[in-house]
Amino acid sequence: MHSFSTVDVFQQAQPNSVLAMIVGMEGPSYRPLGAVMRFFSDGSSIGTLSSGCIEADLWLHAQEALQNYKCRILKYGRGSPFADIQLPCGGGLEIILVPRPNENVLSEIAEMLKDRVPVTISIDFASGNLECWIDKETTRSQTRFSFRYIPEPRLIVFGKGPEAATFTALAETLNYQNILLSPDKNTLRTVGGPSEFRQHMTASKIPLDLKIDKWSAIILFFHDHDWEPEILHAALRSNAFYIGAQGSQRAREEREVSVIALGASHSDAARIKGPIGLIPSARDPRTLAVSVMAEVLKEHKDGE
């Protein structure tokens, strides 16, 4: 099953669509502020705004918005006029429906997020007019809602064998940007995918053209830890939000000594996670992949 991202929703261009976005929240919610969904005239949709309890009703209002070409803000849960529709979480949602949104603006936002650039969408409540701003903060007034999106985590994987392959496959399934670099061609073949995101390593180095931003995570899956020091030393000079390497506590201590010998400070060396993952002593590739993914996403969320 494919997991849809914010970028997927924005770049799904069709002339007769309705953009739905969460612009207000009260209490707990299944989806965050700024979550988006698109409804199309053929009855299809992309994205979700709840656990499935309001999408059918939203579709009906979206078709009405397409017909009268008017924006509308709907309330569900707390304070809603729709008493027969309850949110299991007990909270409240405000959702704006924008018929026939400006596809050029949505495409620009999608491209900026794919290029790893924070971007803000701004919606006029009355007209549905959309604007795209660079890195403006999230705000709401009586007439307008603006929401700042940051790039999703990008997962940069170095390693070989089933652990590296399984983690990368999980990232691909979850629709997170991912890159796998491996000295083992069989590992690369196992995962598959576009060649620009599957690179054969011939040296223990991070390629000079590999861009690492503050929304990037670097994860190493090597049993032969001799591959690690140069890669980790270079990773520590980046602003990656997560750096981790597979192995035991003893392996962690040895790799810290190695990167310090290459010139890293003790505080920098301490940035390297290990043993990695939220589940202690995960002993099979699938459990390890889920465990490490959870740790990476938690680190990303904590840093927002």
Cα(57)–Cα(74) distance, integer angstroms: 10
Q: Is it true that domain 154-302 has CATH number 3.40.50.720? A: yes
Q: How does pLDDT run along the chain (304 residues), one tens digit per residue?
A: 456 789 999 988 778 899 999 999 888 777 899 999 999 988 889 998 887 788 888 999 999 999 999 999 999 887 777 766 776 677 788 999 999 999 999 999 999 999 999 999 999 999 999 999 997 899 999 999 999 999 999 999 999 999 999 999 999 999 999 999 999 999 999 998 888 899 999 999 999 999 999 999 999 999 999 999 999 999 999 999 999 999 999 999 999 999 999 999 999 999 999 999 999 888 899 999 999 999 999 999 887 7
Q: Please give the sequence-ordered ranges of beta strands (E in DSSP) within the chain, or none if there are none.
A: 17-26, 36-40, 45-46, 72-77, 92-99, 119-124, 130-134, 139-140, 144-149, 154-159, 178-182, 198-200, 216-221, 242-245, 272-273
Structure tokens at 119: 């971007």
Residue extents of the structural domains in the chain: 6-149, 154-302
Q: Give the HSE-up count for residue 173: Cα atoms under 13 Å, Cβ half-sphere.
A: 11
Contact 156, 179 (CB under 8 A): yes
Predicted model pTM: 0.87
Contact 54, 62 (CB under 8 A): no
